[in-house]
Amino acid sequence: MAAVVLVTGGTGLVGKAIEYVIEHEPEGSRFGKRPGEKWIFAGSREADLRNSEATLKLFEKYQPTHVIHLAALVGGLFANRERKMTFLRDNMLINDNVLHTAHIKGTKKVISCLSTCVFPDKVEYPLTEEKVHLGPPHSSNFGYAHAKRMVDVQNHAYKEEFGCNFTSAIPTNVFGPHDNFDLKHAHVMPALIHKCYLSQKNNTPFKVMGDGSPLRQFIYSRDLAKLFIWQLREYDSVEPVILSVAENDEISIRELANSIVKVMNYPDKPEFENELNDNGQDRKPASNAKLMSLIGSDFKFTPFEQALGETVTWFLQNYGNARTGQSYV
Ligand code: NAP
Ligand code: GDP
């Protein structure tokens, strides 16, 4: 039977990257489209997945055999800090509707997207897949983190009670074309690209929140897309897989801001606001050992400078249509 792959959140950063890879990799190759496969990329306009009837209608319309479940209320540190209950409830509703509907419609496989925010704040590093539930997440995003963590619990319960093939992926910080470049609510990389652009345009200081010391691992959305396609086709365990660059590829927010300055040819230096309360988590280094042992060491990540360059080029070429001012109502 032909596979119908439904990508929820298909209009966002990660969804657009999967669409790009499926369209651009050679047909029939490891990450390219396979004969007989149909890919559906659904956004919130097509179905608000917080609503169970809308979710059921979406599944009845496309009859997916496989689901890559990306849809979520997503935001950076400051959005998460301001709206913990909304992040908790929206994401719990979305995840419950998608998994329940996939179960009752007999969907063969679901991969849900978590985040390294789900891990305990205080735990021995590096983060590895079996540490998800070992303690509370960082206080800045506990709403989002708990909703996402619960997906792993649901996946195990669906498997044990009903034998479902549901699993999850745990990406680190993602960036790339089609990101949300909102100044206040976005993640750090798109927010800083937008801020640097405005500083250059208006001849104003390029201001970065916090003191620049926190460390993060950044994965390019088009690399992550390949990893999702690999997981869909080649991985069949309920246990999550961390989808990340190597553990020693952490970079500081200061280094990130300096790289953005370089790529955008901004003539000045970034200025750090130095509000320590704005630093968020110091670091959350994740191991990609499980991933690399399964996918093979020949999988190559795009070099960071190249991926950042492609992202900035996309942003500059699409400034008029990009998400540059999304505010919550
Ligand atoms: P994004 O660009 O903000 O995209 C979010 C997607 O979810 C959009 O397609 C959006 O649809 C859809 N969506 C939001 N609310 C919805 C609703 N109520 N009903 C149906 N669809 C809804 O986010 P992203 O960065 O691609 O995130 C994709 C996944 O990766 C999420 O599960 C996120 O938690 C995870 N993740 C992201 C990062 C990161 O750094 N970005 C890191 C780790 C994990 P519309 O655009 O049509 O509204
Ligand atoms: P996190 O990885 O979940 O904490 O999410 P973010 O992508 O929002 O990254 C937050 C880190 O970037 C914190 O250390 C912030 O202090 C720092 N940062 C610096 N400037 C900004 C900014 O303009 N927006 C965001 N979201 N973070 C910023």
Residue ranges per structural domain of the chain: 4-175+217-248+282-302
Q: What is the mean pLDDT of each run of 10 residues along the chain (329 residues)?
A: 92 98 96 96 98 98 98 96 97 98 98 98 97 97 97 98 98 98 96 98 97 98 98 98 97 98 97 92 97 97 98 97 72
Taking the C-alpha atoms of residue 323 and residue 329, their distance in angstroms, rounded to an integer, is 15
Taking the C-alpha atoms of residue 302 and residue 131, their distance in angstroms, rounded to an integer, is 28
From the candidate CATH numbers 3.30.70.260, 3.40.50.300, 3.40.50.1820, 3.40.50.720, the one assigned to the domain spanning 4-175+217-248+282-302: 3.40.50.720
| pTM exceeds 0.75 | yes
- Catalytic residue at 62? no
pLDDT score, position 42:
98
Pick the catalytic residue: 20, 62, 125, 144?
144
pLDDT score, position 324:
93
Distance 237 CA to ligand 1 centre (A): 24
How do residues 25-60 score in pLDDT, each as one tens digit?
999 999 999 999 999 999 999 999 999 999 999 999
Distance 72 CA to ligand 1 centre (A): 4
Q: Nearest bound ligand to CA 281?
A: 2
Cβ < 6 Å from ligand 2: which residues? Answer: 76-78, 117, 173, 187-188, 191-192, 208-210, 214, 216, 253, 278-281
Q: Nearest bound ligand to CA 72?
A: 1
Give the sign of the dihedral formed by CA 273, CA 277, CA 282, CA 288.
Answer: negative
